Chains A and B, each alone.
Chain A
């Protein structure tokens, strides 16, 4: 049995060594911040790289309540879930109309939407801020859900339109003969058959919006309505002195993503890559 096995060449060994070093480069900062967050301030200054002698969980309670990270996480969650659901619904509806249905302006609409993918968010920040302040949408969660939704739509429509186009027309024809309406076709044929697309676009939408900083920072000034990246940036700054608590805050901000990622990493990596290729 063993004779059939190829001997590992020195090159392969070198490659493994290289990737182990890379893994250290990637994991060490994250492990360091986790360990540091459990120390006292003195311990951290005296021996930044030692293992904590006594776990200081108070750092977390402090960051969660005083840093308002608990509230912020709730806000982030609401914003991201609402945006996700709306993007999926509105985006796939538009994608169905553009990809499957027959109308003169279908291609023009697609180009119009694709231009939106090029535009950096910074360029519409000022007009949106001014307009939203006028109609009373500034400083409210709805005020950031609307732009998030709009900026998530292009990729969603683009990818979903591809999925809908690949569904064979015969399926719809037979449904049509059975007296199925166009709305029912969309909800009970097109959508279920494009689950992969929904997963990929949903993932991209959620990750992007969960991490978005600039727009949320500009639009929200009320501490109770801030999202996670904003509250974190405010809590952790060069002027604060208790490093251990700030480390705890950083860990709170990244740990949910790390847990979800560890559980579904293969699907997430493949999904996001697929989305990036098509977008």
Chain B
């Protein structure tokens, strides 16, 4: 029995393809990418010349990079906080109703499976000046703001709009994760608490919340990495030339530097910053929500 599971040929045949693909398409490119970030690419000779940390010092001075970093961090914080609150509220309320629970759940989850490219375009029209929401507001006598082109303030209005759309699209996932965890909690815990005179809110605060804490960590790291990778919505909701890069995030900045201006080295440096941010975010969240597994 053991012998058949130690069959070397079979192991190589089974694990080989995946490991080779992984190394060639993921691991080597990551290393190359890190190497590129210390290089300058010349389009004339199609070669890379080593320039040390210059890309990174340039990044530190680049005003577009500052905006992109600010916007990306805004999305990171906003999506972590808003998804946590809205996800918990929706999950907590949904577990309290029986009829129609599945219908509401499925409706709220729907945008998660739709293409964010298409949804981004859809919301771009809703917030555009000619059609959409401003027409509705006009009908009741309010002059709506210029949703996608107002650039006042530290975090400009379009960023809030896009962050709202992202919340709208992905809150279903957080909601489902919390619901899955809540339905795994032993019902007798609640019964015992009601006998002791606990209200539903208290039960939620003192039983549900502590018991779903591990899931909060999981959901939040998913949100964090997702919001740092954020590309489709921004790319499709904004007009890339109009606003002087006020609406850039790291991903769009990287895309433009690499594939519009062929500055591969500089763009790779942005990529390295992105990886580092992902790592930091995951580490911090894991540290914050690290709990011993409760007995369920």
Residues of A within 8 A of B (CB): 12, 15-16, 18-19, 22-23, 25-27, 29-30, 32-33, 36, 44-45, 48-49, 90-91, 93-94, 96-98, 100-103, 109, 112-113, 116, 118-131, 146-147, 149-151, 153, 157, 169, 172-173, 176, 181-183, 185-186, 207, 210-211, 213-214, 218, 228-229, 232-233, 236, 238, 243, 246-247, 250, 253-254, 257-258, 261, 265-266, 268-269, 272-274, 276-277
Report yes or no: B275 in contact with A48, Cβ–Cβ below 8 A. Answer: no
A2 to chain B, nearest CB (A): 16
Q: When chains A and B are docked, how far (Å) is the Cα of A27 from the Cα of B111?
A: 10
Q: Most A CB atoms within 10 A — which of B28, B94, B117, B218?
A: B117
Write out the residue numbers on chain B whose beta carbons fall within 8 Å of the beta carbon of A233. 117, 121, 235-236
Report yes or no: B21 in contact with A182, Cβ–Cβ below 8 A. Answer: no
Q: When chains A and B are docked, how far (Å) is the Cα of A20 from the Cα of B229?
A: 32
Report yes or no: B112 in contact with A272, Cβ–Cβ below 8 A. Answer: yes
B243 to chain A, nearest CB (A): 11
Extra contacts, 4 of them, besides A44-B131, A94-B19 (Cβ < 8 A), are A118-B278, A126-B264, A214-B235, A233-B235
Report yes or no: B4 in contact with A176, Cβ–Cβ below 8 A. Answer: yes
Residue B49 lies at the interface, judged by CB distance under 8 Å to chain A: no
The 26 sampled A-B contact pairs (Cβ below 8 Å) are A15-B97, A26-B107, A30-B110, A45-B130, A113-B18, A120-B228, A120-B274, A120-B275, A123-B275, A125-B258, A126-B36, A126-B264, A182-B4, A211-B232, A214-B232, A214-B251, A232-B115, A232-B118, A233-B235, A236-B236, A238-B242, A246-B121, A250-B121, A269-B106, A269-B109, A276-B173
Nearest 8 interchain pairs by C-beta: A94-B18, A97-B14, A97-B15, A127-B29, A124-B29, A229-B117, A127-B32, A211-B115
Q: How many A-B residue pairs have CB under 8 A?
A: 264
A174 to chain B, nearest CB (A): 10
Kindly report which residue of chain A lies nearest to residue B121, judged by CB atoms: A236
Residue B81 lies at the interface, judged by CB distance under 8 Å to chain A: no
Residue B254 lies at the interface, judged by CB distance under 8 Å to chain A: yes
Interface size on B, residues (CB 8 A): 93
Tell which of A15, A153, A269 touches B21, judged by Cβ atoms closer than 8 Å.
A153
* Known A-B contacts A150-B26, A232-B118; A93 and B14 likewise in contact (beta carbons under 8 Å): yes
Tell which of A12, A181, A243, A250 touches B96, judged by Cβ atoms closer than 8 Å.
A12
A145 to chain B, nearest CB (A): 11
For chain B residues 99-130, which have a beta carbon within 8 Å of chain A?
Answer: 100, 102, 104-119, 121-126, 130
Report yes or no: A268 in contact with B113, Cβ–Cβ below 8 A. Answer: yes
Report yes or no: A182 in contact with B29, Cβ–Cβ below 8 A. Answer: no
Chain A binding site: helix, strand, loop or mixed by DSSP? Answer: helix
Report yes or no: A49 in contact with B232, Cβ–Cβ below 8 A. Answer: no
Report yes or no: B21 in contact with A257, Cβ–Cβ below 8 A. Answer: no
Q: Most A CB atoms within 10 A — which of B25, B135, B179?
A: B25
A226 to chain B, nearest CB (A): 12
* Known A-B contacts A126-B36, A277-B180; A229 and B115 likewise in contact (beta carbons under 8 Å): yes
Residue B194 lies at the interface, judged by CB distance under 8 Å to chain A: no
Write out the residue numbers on chain B whose beta carbons fall within 8 Å of the beta carbon of A15. 93, 96-97
* Known A-B contacts A12-B97, A266-B106; A90 and B1 likewise in contact (beta carbons under 8 Å): no
Write out the residue numbers on chain B whose beta carbons fall within 8 Å of the beta carbon of A12. 96-97
Residue B11 lies at the interface, judged by CB distance under 8 Å to chain A: yes
Report yes or no: B232 in contact with A229, Cβ–Cβ below 8 A. Answer: yes
Tell which of A102, A150, A254 touches B6, judged by Cβ atoms closer than 8 Å.
A102
Tell which of A22, A96, A247 touches B125, judged by Cβ atoms closer than 8 Å.
A247
